[in-house]
Structure 1
Amino acid sequence: MPVLVVATGNPGKLQEMQAYLQDLPWELQLKPPELDIEETGTTFLENAALKASQVAKALNQWAIADDSGLAVEALNGAPGLYSARYGTTDQERIERLLTELGNNPNRRAKFICAVAIAKPDGTIAAQVQGDCPGEILPELRGAGGFGYDPIFYVPEYQQTFAEMSAALKHNVSHRGQAFALLLPRLATLPD
């Protein structure tokens, strides 16, 4: 079974990707912890491709990477690439976002997820971007999920990500959309 290195040191991210890729004949492995890739791209796609390419070249194996975040329209796309660094805890990130958004009536936002797969020589074999449109609520709703999930409301389902079942979020989220686009391409990649 061919190996696909997940360009992260986060075991939770590995499990998440395994759930999306469970029907494919790849063995997913975490990248070595000493292999640290700096995210210097200016878009989610650039960062995903950068991480996948550098890990693939360093290990001479196929690699997959993602980059994701929240883009709020009234904040000119912030926090965007800095979603994870918008504060030191989920609570701080949410408080900062809600403070900056204030009473602005434009609550439109979207979660974005870019995924890239690199060949062992570092060339990108496939890359996709999925997104999930929604709105930012002024207060938290739901106990599930993580990060911005309690304030990210999806009108189509009348729930925040934190209120959704894991199965529903798996399918409708930005990550779910990205992997839905990626799976047909991944199934055709050579061993």
Structure 2
Amino acid sequence: MRKLIVATGNPGKLREIQEYLTGFAWELQLKPDDLDIEETGDTFIANACFKASQVARALGEWAIADDSGLEVEALGGAPGIYSARYGKTDQERIERLLKELGDSENRRAQFVCAVAIARRDGSIAAFVEGTCPGEILREPCGTGGFGYDPIFYVPQQQQTFAQMQPEVKRKLSHRGRAFEKLLPKLREIESEV
């Protein structure tokens, strides 16, 4: 098994990535807690590449990183790369977003996920970006998921992310679409490892 360091301290993220990589011969491990990587990029791809590169270089192992967030059209793309820092809790983030959006008729939004894989020397072997278009509801709906899921409505599914079954969300989501693009590249990468 080849080792692949997931550039996060979040075990839930590791499990999620593991599900997308079923069938690949990679042993996923969390980055050490004491290895902090600042997200200094101004795009999701820049942040994912930076995190993967820094972790790979620091540990001398292959690394994978993602960066994701919500872009709301009427807010000029905000909260964007600052999605996780838009408030201290999910509730605060949702309340702030709904307050800033107000009565705007334009509720169009998209979730974005960038994923990058870095070689042991920190060079980027592959990166992709996936998006899931949707709309922002005026109030939360559903009890599943996390973050902005209760207010992110996907018209083709007629549900919020918080209402969807996990397997449906995994397939339709921005992260699912990013990994769908990444898997063929990962097969090519396996041959160079």
Would you call these one fold, judging by a TM-score over 0.5?
Answer: yes
- Equivalent position of 1:144 in the other structure: 144
> Could you tell me how far 1:114 is from its partner in structure 2?
0.1
- Equivalent position of 2:69 in the other structure: 69
Identical-pair percentage: 69
SS across alignment from 2:63: strand
- Equivalent position of 1:163 in the other structure: 163
SS across alignment from 1:116: strand
Amino acid at match of 1:5: I
Mapped partners of 1:107, 1:145: distance in 2: 20
- Counterparts of 1:79-158 in structure 2, within 5 Å, are 79-158=79-158
> Could you tell me how far 1:22 is from its partner in structure 2?
1.5
- Counterparts of 1:6-85 in structure 2, within 5 Å, are 6-85=6-85
Mapped partners of 1:11, 1:187: distance in 2: 24
Mapped partners of 2:180, 2:22: distance in 1: 13
SS across alignment from 2:144: coil
Mapped partners of 1:84, 1:108: distance in 2: 19
Displacement over 2 Å in runs of 4+: none
Mapped partners of 1:4, 1:115: distance in 2: 13
TM-score by length of 2: 0.98
Mapped partners of 1:177, 1:166: distance in 2: 14
SS across alignment from 2:28: strand
Per-residue CA deviation, residues 26-58 of structure 1 (Å, 9 max, x unaligned), is: 000000111100000000000000000000001
Mapped partners of 1:53, 1:47: distance in 2: 10
Ranges in structure 2 where 5+ consecutive residues have no aligned partner: none
Count of residues in correspondence between the two structures: 191
> Could you tell me how far 1:187 is from its partner in structure 2?
1.1
Amino acid at match of 1:106: N
Mapped partners of 2:60, 2:87: distance in 1: 35
Mapped partners of 1:22, 1:127: distance in 2: 19
> Could you tell me how far 1:23 is from its partner in structure 2?
1.3
Mapped partners of 1:43, 1:82: distance in 2: 10
Mapped partners of 1:87, 1:23: distance in 2: 37
> Could you tell me how far 1:188 is from its partner in structure 2?
1.2
Ranges in structure 1 where 5+ consecutive residues have no aligned partner: none
Mapped partners of 2:119, 2:188: distance in 1: 13
C-alpha RMSD of the superposition: 0.5
Per-residue CA deviation, residues 60-93 of structure 1 (Å, 9 max, x unaligned), is: 1100000000000000000001100100010000
